[in-house]
Amino acid sequence: MVEIQIAKGNYGMTYSLVFKGEDYTGCTASLYLWRGSNTIIDGGSCDVEVVAGDTIVKYLVTPGAFDVTGDLYNAKVRFVKAGFDEEQKMFNWRVIDQSG
């Protein structure tokens, strides 16, 4: 499974996930991030852009979203079109400390 790494506390930074060869034109996307029963992001709003048949999902980091480092979390992007689930993409997400 793919692992995404994000730096702790990068508030205001936009992270982009690229789904190569997958066209989700007309879809909205939401980000979910959890570990066990600990939910970090529950349906975070994402921007969706399709470029040359690839879908780019962008998430703007908000304060408090990534404050715990080291652990590996479950993550998914949920695509919805016309009110119905189109697809869900699962991956792992690790928050890392880049303070030095």
- pLDDT tens readout for residues 7-37: 787 788 898 999 999 999 999 999 998 888 8
In a domain, 84, yes or no: yes
CA separation for the pair 5, 93 (Å, rounded): 6
Residue 100 counted as domain residue: no
Better-scored residue on pLDDT, 92 or 64: 92
Residue from 21, 23, 2, 26 nearest 76 by CA: 2
Give domain status of residue 86, yes or no. yes
In a domain, 40, yes or no: yes
Domain that holds residue 73: 3-95
Its pTM stands at 0.83
Per the structure, how many domains does the chain have? Answer: 1
Candidates 53, 70, 54; CA nearest to 17 is 54
Exposed, middle or buried, 97 (CB in 10 Å: 0-12/13-18/19+)?
A: exposed
pLDDT band at 76 (very low <50, low <70, confident <90, very high): very high
64 three-class SS: coil
57 in a domain, yes or no? yes
Model confidence at 99: pLDDT above 90: no
User: For position 33, which CATH number holds?
Assistant: 2.60.40.10
